[in-house]
Structures are given as structure tokens and as C-alpha cells.
Structure 1
Amino acid sequence: MPTSIETSFIDNDALMLRAVGIGKTFTLHGQGGVQIDALAGVSLDVQRGECVVLVGPSGAGKSTFLRCLYGNYLASTGTIAIRDDAQQARHLSITGAEPRDVLHLRRGVVGYVSQFLRVIPRVSTLDLVAEPLLSRGVDADEAHARAAALLARLNVPERLWPLAPATFSGGEQQRVNIARGLIAGHPVLLLDEPTASLDAENRDIVADLIVEARERGAAIVGIFHDEDTRAKVATRRLELTPPLRRTTALH
């Protein structure tokens, strides 16, 4: 018999992401096994064409929640399911999925932009941005042309495209990171402060790209430190509050 989550994705074609009762507890093994609750009881549905902005004070678990949605952190409690029409059940429950299935979902469905670019040594900026398209079978010439167009729009100078971005400024690296995260047009986008190191002009460009992704039907969950950017991209907000901090030493 189908589960309630399964029927949700089958019956509602607009539903892209469902998180129910998500909690995350970290165990500090180097400090006597102390356990710290970072997130408790967070639930969220996101449909096509929505941009849900996470708001709340530092320590509320905003980045932790995004990492749970992406599968970088395994949620301690609750379930997370993301639409995957390649599956018979029309979704993948990432809280219980095999790593290979999560990687497959990331390749075709879920894009993630973090605050920092994880630089691949000796790989040019153009190749780095084109790679998500190449991994999906896009012709190399087309992939590089699309990467070049996106880098130009993000004001990354053409003289930098043949270079590896390890020595770029923080703002340049962030724009390369954004280009890599957005180029494939993933149906679900998770954005962890993508504009944090950008000036006002480039923040506006990134906000425009996010609005365009939303308008084409992407389901977006994001964190933005700038209120103007939040106001521009959000269709609604989800307020997170710090959980009651339980710090328990394991014996």
C-alpha cells in the first residue's frame, strides 16, 4: 500500500519537496560524546515555482536544515522526500536512501549553492561551470557556450575563464559557484547565502537569476543575509527558531 508521502507526490504533480518533523542532533565525540540539538521538528512542503526563504537568528539551524535537505547531513528525526519522476513512487526518500541514489538525484534534480566554492585544482573556470551539463550528456560546445554566457552575465571577466579559480577574489569565486549551481536548471534549488560576499550590483544580478529560475518552475529553498534580496526572490518565508538546547554527555 502506498505511503502518505508517496500518494502526495503521485496526486500532486506540483509538489517537489516534503520535509516532515526534521531534527538534527550532533554528537561531539572529541568532547566526551556531548550531544547538541541543532534543529527540531521542522516541516516544509515546496511546490514548483515557489521560493521559500529561511529566516531566523543565528543558531536557528537554517544551514543545518538545508544540508539535511541535500543529504549532506542525515536527519536524526523525520523524513525528507524529493520528487524524482524516474522512480516508480515519483519521489526519493533521502533520509533512507543509498548514497548512489542520492548522487543520482543531485545530478538530475537537486542543485545546491553553498557560501564557498570547493575549488578543484587545475580545472579551468569554464570547465568547472560547464561540468554539470557535461555530466548530463550535453554536447561539449553547447555546455561551454552556456557556461560562457552565464559567467559573462555574472561579471566574471573573460580573462579568468581559462584559469582555475583558486586564486580568485571571494566575490569572483562566489559568482563561479553560483554559475555552476544554476547552469543545469535543476528542478529543486537549495541556496545557502549565495550572495553573502557580493556587492550590490552583483547581488541584484543573482537575485534576477533566482527569480528567473523560480518563474520557469524551480522549487527553491534559500538563505539570504540581505533583506532586499529576500524581498525580491521570496514567495514566502519559513521562520526557524533555535531549539531548546539539550547538551547531554554520553556515558
Structure 2
Amino acid sequence: MTDINSSANPTAHHATRAFIERAALMLRAENVRKTFTLHGQGGIGIEALAGVSLDVERGECVVLVGPSGAGKSTLLRCLYGNYLASGGSIAIRDDNAPLQHLDITGAAPHDVLRLRRNVVGYVSQFLRVIPRVSTRDLVAAPLVARGVAEDEANTRAETLLARLNVPQRLWSLAPATFSGGEQQRVNIARGLIARHRVLLLDEPTASLDAENREVVSSLIVEAREQGAAIVGVFHDEDTRERVATRRLPLAAPRTRTPLGVAA
């Protein structure tokens, strides 16, 4: 884990004070930027995020809104550490860290993995299918990784799968041949089962019908009411209206420049 010298890093100092003074604060992003460089096209830089900041506390659901290309999914991937931000900082509460938070933009990979296991959950609209692993085991895996007994983890997985209307006959099967909606519901169950304190949700209801969207919305609201800090992207207005406590508008960045040339 990176040791932050607050006297040399004003941003880190502000984050440290915020996490110490605000017990409900779970996530802080400050001036997050992301640029993708197309080396095969003359070093053109595609600016995906141009300085996004937000704080998220326990019991909040911040919904990202904006047009296609505004960087909503990119921001979620930066918050999770799948993308390394090109600038700015992202800090997530980590009670096991000396400063009560982890700056994932400079963290060691093993610290990011530990944070994902214990604090941060991520749900996308796509399920990463693992061959020959049953649906039940796939959903239970995040609990088993935390040390929960396998029988208890499987029972909780079955309860969640039943609530998400995944037929019992599918629980012992690998989900590679499931429909898109069934796979998405399995993915949601896997993402929600561990009750992470921070949840990042990227279009989790995109392939679902109205009935199952309502079930997922209810689960998200329950997680929020139980104290989860949530940042999400949702494709339909009804879901946004149901789950959001506030919205963060994002606008598409305006520049595409050769690498090294200021916009």
C-alpha cells in the first residue's frame, strides 16, 4: 500500500482529513481524468474524462447521467481500478489502512484486490462465464473468498437466485448457455451477495424485462438503506428514479489531440 505523505501532497492531505472527519464518507474522487492514446493512429489522445469529482457517503446512490461518450462507464472502471486514471485521485475507505483509506491510483495490486474482496463490488451488464463452474458456486464464490462456510454461502446464493427469478433447475449448471437476461441476473446475484460497502453498477438492468428490473431495483434500494455507498449507470429512467438519491451529470469531453499537445 502506498504511504501518502500529506505534507508533500495537498490532495492526499485533504482526502485524509475527509475520511477521518466524515465517518460516512466511503469514496472520494478528485479531478479524475482519463485519456486513451491510439498509438496506431499517430498518437491521437481520446479524452474520455475531463476532471470529474465526487464524494459518496453511506446510504447514497449517485446515478451518473449524460450522453453516450460522456465517460460514465469509464469513470466506474477507474473507480474500480480496471482503468488507471490519467490524472486526479481516487480514494476508498479502508479501515485496515493507516490513513483509513486507500488511494487506488497509486496502490499496489494486492491492496486493490484486497479492497475489492472486502469493500468494493462491481456489477456490469456482462457475466464473465467460468467454464464448468455452476451458477450456485459462481454466485457463492465472493462469500467463500471471505471465509464464509461453503454451506452457508450456497444457501445465501440460492436465496438470492430465487429472488432474482433464476429457475432452480439452472442452479447446478454453468451459465454459459443461459439467455442474456438469465446471465445478467446471475451476475447481479454474484455482485450483491457479499454486501460490499461500496457498489459500482454499470447498466445492471440493461437486458432485463420490467418485472426483473423491479426486483433488481428493490435489491439496490435495500443495499442503499443498509448503508452501501453506490455509484451507478442505469439505462432506463424508471430505475434511475427509483434508486437515486442524487445525480451526477457528465458531459462528453471536447478534445481529441495528438499525444503531448495541449487541448
TM range (shorter): over 0.9
Letter of the 2:229 partner, please give it: A
Partners of 2:95 and 2:101 within 8 A in 1: yes
Q: In the alignment, which residue of structure 2 is the partner of 1:68?
A: 78
Select 1:226's aligned residue among 236, 240, 244. Answer: 236
- Note the residue ranges of structure 2 that are not aligned, 5 or more in a row: 7-12
Select 1:93's aligned residue among 94, 97, 103. Answer: 103
Distance 1:217 1:120 in 2: 31
Q: Is 1:248 aligned to residue 258 of structure 2?
A: yes
Q: In the alignment, which residue of structure 2 is the partner of 1:103?
A: 113
Q: In the alignment, which residue of structure 2 is the partner of 1:15?
A: 25
Distance 1:163 1:51 in 2: 33
For 2:199, what is the secondary structure of its paired residue? strand
Q: CA deviation at 1:249?
A: 5.0
Q: Is 1:32 aligned to residue 42 of structure 2?
A: yes
Which TM-score applies when normalising by structure 1?
A: 0.98
CA RMSD, aligned part only? 1.1
Q: Is 1:194 aligned to residue 182 of structure 2?
A: no
Summarize deviations over 1:57-91 as a string: whole Å, max 9, x none: 00000000000000000000100000000111000
Letter of the 2:257 partner, please give it: T
Letter of the 1:192 partner, please give it: D
Q: Is 1:168 aligned to residue 205 of structure 2?
A: no
Q: CA deviation at 1:34?
A: 1.6
Identity rate of aligned residues, in percent? 75
Distance 1:86 1:207 in 2: 31
Q: In the alignment, which residue of structure 2 is the partner of 1:183?
A: 193
Distance 1:135 1:152 in 2: 22
Select 1:215's aligned residue among 220, 225, 232. Answer: 225
Distance 2:95 2:40 in 1: 42
For 1:81, what is the secondary structure of its paired residue? strand
Partners of 1:156 and 1:176 within 8 A in 2: yes
Partners of 2:44 and 2:256 within 8 A in 1: no
Q: CA deviation at 1:250?
A: 6.5
Letter of the 1:154 partner, please give it: L
Partners of 1:6 and 1:91 within 8 A in 2: yes
Which TM-score applies when normalising by structure 2?
A: 0.94
What is the aligned residue count?
251
Summarize deviations over 1:95-137 as a string: whole Å, max 9, x none: 0001110000000000000110001111000000000000000
Q: In the alignment, which residue of structure 2 is the partner of 1:204?
A: 214
Summarize deviations over 1:141-185 as a string: whole Å, max 9, x none: 100000000000000000001111000000000000000000000
- Note the residue ranges of structure 1 that are not aligned, 5 or more in a row: none
Distance 1:70 1:52 in 2: 15
Against the structure 1 CA distance between its residues 77 and 249, is the aligned structure 2 distance closer, same or farther, given a 3 Å change threshold? closer
For 2:112, what is the secondary structure of its paired residue? helix
**Which of structure 1's runs of 4+ aligned residues deviate more than 4 A?**
none
Partners of 2:42 and 2:258 within 8 A in 1: no
